[in-house]
C-alpha cells in the first residue's frame, strides 16, 4: 500500500514540476494581453500656467489648464486588423482635449494607436494616425510591456510624430508600490499645429501670420514593473509660436506649465493597477513557485514512503516451515521427542 501511494505521489510531483515552468514560460506569454475593449479617462492639470490668447496673440497667466485624455478600444477595427494580419492586436482611439480655466477648448488632438496585445509592439495597420496624419510608430506608447525591464525603451512622442529613448532612472516607492521611474526629454522641435484650435482659427491662418509652433517637454513616468502600466505621469511642457524666418524676433509663449495627474484620477489609477498586477503575479510567480514547492514536498513524501516500505519488507520474518524439518516430532501420548538425524544415533 505504501509503495502504491509513493508512486502516485511521485507522479504528481513530476507533473507539478513540469507544469511550473510551462505556466511561466509558455502559458503566460499567450494568456497575458491587453484587453481590446478597454476604456479609460485621465484628467491632468497644469496650475498657474501660461497660455496664449489667440485673440491678441499674447501670453497670459491662468490659474489652471486642464487636459482630458480618453482612451477607447476599437474592437471592430481590431477584428479587421486581426483578420488581415493574423495577429492578436489592440486598436486604441485616443483623444487629448485641452481646456482653459473657463472650460473653453484650447486644442483637440485625436489619435489611433495599433499594437500587439501581448508584446505592446506597434502594428502598422488599421489607419494609425495622429490628428488625422498617418504615422508609422516605432517603440511603445502609453503602456510598457508586461514585466518591464530595467533599461531604456523607445517611446513615441505625439507632438513630433517620432520616437526617442525614454531612460530608466531607477526604482522608486510610490503609494505602496515599487515602481520604475522613466524620463524622456524632447528638445526644442518644430511641430505641426493642431488642426482644431479655438475661435475657429485654422493652422493655415496661423501660418499666414508668419508663425510656426515649437515644442519641448520633459516627460516622467512611474511604471508598475509587473503590468507595465504607468501609475503616474507628469510633463514639464513648453510651446512657443516663433516667427518664420525671423529668429531675432521674440517668440510668443503658447503654453508653459507643469502638467500633473489630478489626485482623484491618480488614486483610481493606482487601485486599477494594483488589482491587475495580482492577476499577472498569479501566472508569473504565485502559481509557478507554488507548484514547484508543492512538487518538491510531494517528491520528498514519496521518497520517505518508499524508504519505509523497503525497510518494512527487509525486516519481515521468514514464513514458518515444517517443525519436523528441524528434528522435532510428536509422541503418541502427546509429548515431543527429538528425532534422530540421518547418519546419527542415540
The span from the CA of 238 to the CA of 258, in Å, is 9
C-alpha 63: how far from chain center:
36
Q: pLDDT at residue 297 above 80?
A: yes
pLDDT score at 41: 94
Q: Is there a domain that residue 2 lies in? A: no
**Parent domain of 233:** 32-261
Q: Is residue 5 part of a domain?
A: no
Q: What is the overall mean pLDDT for the chain?
A: 88
pLDDT of residue 315: 65
The reply to whether 282 falls in a domain is no
**Are residues 49 and 256 in contact, defined by beta-carbon separation less than 8 angstroms?**
yes
The three cell numbers of residue 48 are 498657474
Residue 340 has pLDDT above 70, yes or no: no
The yes-or-no verdict on residue 324 having pLDDT over 50 is no
For cell 521674440, the residue is 250
pLDDT digits 0-9 by tens, 192-232: 999 999 988 999 999 999 999 999 999 999 999 999 999 99
What band does 329 get if pLDDT is binned at 50, 70 and 90?
very low
Q: In this structure, are strands 211-223 and 89-99 parallel, antiparallel, or unpaired?
A: unpaired
Most confident of 223-227, 274-278, 311-315: 223-227
- The stretch 169-190 carries a mean pLDDT of 97
Query: Which sign, positive or negative, has the C-alpha torsion 191, 103, 44, 253?
Result: positive
Share of the chain above pLDDT 70, in %: 90
Among residues of the chain, what percentage have pLDDT more than 90? 70
Task: Establish if 157 belongs to a structural domain.
Answer: yes
Q: With bands split at pLDDT 50, 70 and 90, how would you rate the model's confidence at 346? A: very low
Whether 187 and 164 have beta carbons less than 8 Å apart is answered as: no
Whether 321 is in a domain gets the answer no
* Position 334 in a domain: no
Mean pLDDT over residues 34-61, rounded? 94
Mean pLDDT of 273-279: 91
Pairwise CA distance, residues 89 & 79, whole Å? 8
pLDDT value of position 165: 97
* β-strand pairing of 252-261 with 328-330: unpaired
Buried b or exposed e, range 68-105, using 16+ CB within 10 angstroms: bbbbebbeebbebbbeeeebbbbbbbbebbbbbeeeee
**329 against 310, higher pLDDT:** 310
DSSP state string for 284-295: IIIHHHHHHHHH
Average pLDDT of the residues in 156-180? 96
Q: Confirm whether 36 is domain-assigned.
A: yes
- Whether 77 is covered by a domain: the verdict is yes
What band does 331 get if pLDDT is binned at 50, 70 and 90? very low
**pLDDT given at position 338:** 47
Number of domains within the chain = 1
pLDDT band (50, 70, 90) for residue 302: confident
Amino acid at each position: 500500500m505504501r509503495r502504491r501511494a509513493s508512486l502516485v505521489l511521485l507522479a504528481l510531483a513530476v507533473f507539478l514540476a513540469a507544469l511550473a515552468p510551462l505556466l511561466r514560460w509558455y502559458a503566460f506569454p499567450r494568456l497575458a494581453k491587453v484587453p481590446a475593449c478597454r476604456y479609460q479617462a485621465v484628467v491632468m492639470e497644469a496650475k498657474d500656467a501660461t497660455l496664449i490668447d489667440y485673440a491678441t496673440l499674447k501670453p497670459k497667466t491662468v490659474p489652471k489648464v486642464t487636459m482630458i485624455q480618453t482612451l477607447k478600444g476599437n474592437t471592430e477595427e481590431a477584428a479587421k486588423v486581426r483578420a488581415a494580419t493574423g495577429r492578436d492586436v489592440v486598436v486604441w482611439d485616443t483623444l487629448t482635449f485641452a481646456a482653459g480655466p473657463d472650460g473653453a477648448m484650447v486644442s483637440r488632438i485625436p489619435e489611433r494607436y495599433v499594437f500587439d496585445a501581448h508584446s505592446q509592439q506597434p502594428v502598422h495597420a488599421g489607419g494609425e494616425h495622429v490628428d488625422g496624419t498617418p504615422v508609422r510608430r516605432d517603440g511603445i506608447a502609453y503602456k510598457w510591456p508586461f514585466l518591464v525591464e530595467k533599461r531604456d525603451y523607445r517611446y513615441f512622442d505625439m507632438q513630433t510624430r517620432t520616437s526617442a529613448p525614454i531612460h530608466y532612472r531607477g526604482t522608486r516607492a510610490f503609494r505602496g508600490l515599487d515602481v520604475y521611474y522613466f524620463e524622456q526629454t524632447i528638445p526644442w522641435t518644430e511641430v505641426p499645429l493642431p488642426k482644431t484650435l479655438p475661435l475657429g482659427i485654422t493652422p493655415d491662418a496661423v501660418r499666414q501670420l508668419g508663425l510656426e509652433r515649437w515644442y519641448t517637454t520633459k516627460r516622467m513616468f512611474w511604471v508598475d514593473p509587473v503590468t507595465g502600466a504607468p501609475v503616474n505621469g507628469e510633463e514639464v511642457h513648453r510651446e512657443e509660436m516663433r516667427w518664420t524666418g525671423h529668429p531675432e524676433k521674440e517668440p510668443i509663449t503658447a503654453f508653459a506649465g507643469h502638467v500633473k495627474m489630478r489626485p482623484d484620477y491618480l488614486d483610481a489609477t493606482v487601485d486599477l493597477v494594483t488589482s491587475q498586477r495580482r492577476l499577472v503575479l498569479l501566472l508569473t510567480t504565485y502559481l509557478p513557485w507554488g507548484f514547484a514547492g508543492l512538487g518538491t514536498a510531494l517528491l520528498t513524501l514519496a521518497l520517505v514512503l518508499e524508504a519505509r516500505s523497503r525497510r518494512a519488507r527487509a525486516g519481515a520474518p521468514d514464513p514458518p516451515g515444517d517443525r519436523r524439518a528441524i528434528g522435532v516430532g510428536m509422541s503418541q501420548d502427546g509429548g515431543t521427542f527429538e528425532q534422530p538425524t540421518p547418519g546419527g544415533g542415540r
